[in-house]
Copies of this chain bind each other. A is one copy, B any other.
Amino acid sequence: MQIIINNSSMIPIYEQIYSQIKMLIINEKLKSNDHLPSVRALANELKVSALTVKKAYDLLETEGYTTTIHGKGSYVLKPNINLIKDEVSKDIEARLQIIVEKAKLVKISNEELYSMLKIILED
């Protein structure tokens, strides 16, 4: 499990763990039925509290990415890609909305916005 913790980031550690594992699942680096490391093992590896890892695993489970079998650990579920794509689309739309509002405030033109997006897409 290649997970990188940034202690000084504003993002809570449990969320960093959650979103990185989520990406591995969507990305299919972690496949259906794969076994996640135990809470304690991962906590040890990342040098964070076991409670923090537990919180991330709980989030993954409530979001439907994994399932936990008592005494055996957590297993990756088959992700519903279409559902996830819809969710991400809505999230992106909301984020674009915020960006457009911010841009208007300081009179960044539509063309400038397009070119900023273009530059990032071409990286």
Contact = CB atoms under 8 A, between A and B. Distances in A.
Contacts of A8: 67, 69
Interface in A59-96: 62, 67, 69-70, 81, 84-85, 88-89, 91-93, 95-96
A3 interface: no
A116 interface: yes
The secondary structure that dominates the A interface is helix
A88 B69 contact: no
B121 A100 contact: yes
A105 B88 contact: yes
Please tell me how many copies of the chain the complex holds: 4
Interface residues of A, number: 37
Contacts of A89: 108, 116
A27 interface: yes
A23 interface: yes
A32 to B, nearest CB: 14
Contacts of A113: 92, 117, 121
